[in-house]
Structure 1
Amino acid sequence: MYGWGGDSWGMGGWIVMAVLMVLFWGGVITLVIVVLLRRPRSDQGTTALRPSHHDAERILNERFARGEIDETEYLARRTALRRPE
């Protein structure tokens, strides 16, 4: 109507719009896949947040060395920490 040929961009406009639409939806799908892959799985998330056995034993040793717990409590807790789950 206001352009030079009366039919705007013609066939080239349709091709550009189709390519842009494919690029847009491809980007959206890629973003969704990346977000889903970066989320921690249920079996990974809990172990990563939990302190390791060695950290717990190190803290127990420090508490015993400072005199916060006696030998009986120290031995009982160390045995509990070393027990397989």
Structure 2
Amino acid sequence: MMFWYDHDVSGWGWFAMSAGMILFWALIITAVVLLIRALNSPQEHPHPHPHTPAAPTPTPEDILRERLARGEIDEEEYRRRLAALHAGPLTKT
């Protein structure tokens, strides 16, 4: 015995099918965009390569020069501090 059913999709079926298709394509497009961004982004290495020289640390004279250039100290203060640096460590007597 054969049963003849109406094979039309109801309103909720169309809604579910449409929502599923929209979500499917949104997922595909998002994956492609993220892949393109990942491939085009500059590669940042959190750990420097062992053969790459490290950035030199600034000397006290460099720091004084930068402070003078930024206007934090005037020329007289710069010269006084530079002379104190070159005089050597202070000793208590």
Q: Give the TM interval when normalised to the shorter protein.
A: 0.3 to 0.5
More helix by share: 1
Relative contact order (C-alpha < 8 Å, sep 6+): which is higher? 1
Based on CA coordinates, which of the two structures has the bigger radius of gyration?
2
TM-score scaled to structure 2, two decimals?
Answer: 0.39
TM-score scaled to structure 1, two decimals?
Answer: 0.42
